[in-house]
Amino acid sequence: MSLRDKVLAQVRARSPLRVRPEPPLPALTPTWADASVRRIAAALERAQRRDAGGWFVVGRSSDVPDAPRAESITRVVAGRELALWRGSDGRLHAGPGACPHLGALLDRCPVAGDMVLCRWHGMALADGRHGYREHPAYDDGVLAWVRLPAEGETPTPAPRLPQRPDPERTIAAVYVGRMRCEPADVIANRLDPWHGAWFHPYAFSHLTVDESASDADRLVLDVTFRLGRTFGVPVRASFHTPDSRTIVMTILDGEGTGSVVETHATPLGTDRDGAAVTVLTEATIATSDRLGFRMLRPAARLVRPLIVRTAAGLWRDDQDYAERRYAVRRGEAGIGKVRRG
């Protein structure tokens, strides 16, 4: 091997970048035949049968302030108002969003010990006080969850978390968006990886689903994440749905092996037109053995906005996809009723 080839081999071994010129759209192989309507519907049906145990993601764990600035926040899940707060030990609490006295919204209320104090007249609320009943809550370090009665679901003590990389070696960032569709439309978008290179050519190319490694429960694909027109980072990734409201992408090989992107779809309720509204919470939990990544970890605060901006860019398109899917199902497509929620 010549010196030049040796140097090139060294550079290649150390860098995840590969020359992967962006193919022009007309040169792409059509993928519609692979993105079989029946196959996607069957995968979605299987996903929807996976019991989420009544657990709903309600936001980032960092959304709920801790002492000394502890106060309540509110969320809506499936049309139900919820208040969330942290007790003096940092534990996450959740309960109805309305005060049992005169119905005040328990938003930005002070916290004393484990109790939230209503801002209207100071009623101190915690499980069992004044008829107030808390809901089980769970903080996984990245996301906050609440368990609610959910039709067809058997309550479990904790949400079934997908396998994540060691938190000591990760940078986690969460994107939250809202869209006019049902949770199933968000999951269905991710169960169709074949749209990747066509619909997001600026982000993905060289995308092929490895049928021999895929099965009914897991899609395995090879894809290049684009870094401009010439360079890209090839990886191997899988998608699986641990429960009816979650789909997880795991990097199996290549840069960031072990990193996961968890997409959680939480029903919010309906808008004025009676259309479903879903909140998307997407946690990117990145890891890498590279020295550069380890050096970046202390600066995670600076990196998180970049991860969130990338997720937001992709979701601009995928929101259109999910909302359009919902509109078609509602018979709205083509009759001028389609608009963003």
Nearer to Fe ion, 22 or 318 (CB): 318
- Sign of the C-alpha dihedral computed for residues 108, 110, 116 and 120 taken in this order: negative
Residue 318 found at the interface with Fe ion (CB under 5 A): yes
Residue 129 found at the interface with ligand FES (CB under 6 A): no
CB atoms within 10 A of CB 211: 11
What does 118 interact with, of ligand FES, Fe ion, none (CB < 5 to 8 A by kind)?
Answer: ligand FES
Nearer to ligand FES, 83 or 181 (CB): 83
Task: Please say whether the beta carbons of 294 and 286 come within 8 A.
Answer: no
Q: Output the six-digit token pair for 182.
A: 């049902």
Q: Which of residues 81-100 bind ligand FES (CB under 6 A)?
A: 99
Q: Which of residues 3-32 bind Fe ion (CB under 5 A)?
A: none
Minimal distance in Å, beta carbon 203 to Fe ion?
Answer: 8
Residue 111 found at the interface with ligand FES (CB under 6 A): no
Task: Please say whether the beta carbons of 120 and 101 come within 8 A.
Answer: yes
Nearer to Fe ion, 270 or 310 (CB): 310
Cα(134)–Cα(229) distance, rounded to whole angstroms? 52
Burial environment of residue 229 by CB neighbours within 10 A (0 to 12, 13 to 18, 19 or more):
exposed
How far is the CA of 283 from the CAs of 79, 308, 332, in angstroms? 23, 9, 31
Nearer to ligand FES, 50 or 119 (CB): 119
Which residue has the closest beta carbon to Fe ion? 318
Minimal distance in Å, beta carbon 119 to ligand FES?
Answer: 7
**How large is the greatest C-alpha to C-alpha distance in the chain, in angstroms?**
82
What's the one-letter identity of residue 234?
P
What does 318 interact with, of ligand FES, Fe ion, none (CB < 5 to 8 A by kind)?
Answer: Fe ion
Residue 338 found at the interface with ligand FES (CB under 6 A): no
Cα(66)–Cα(119) distance, rounded to whole angstroms? 18
Number of residues binding to ligand FES, judged by CB under 6 A: 8
Number of residues binding to Fe ion, judged by CB under 5 A: 1
Q: Using CB under 6 A as the criterion, which residues of the chain lie in contact with ligand FES when the complex forms?
A: 99, 101-102, 104, 118, 120-121, 123
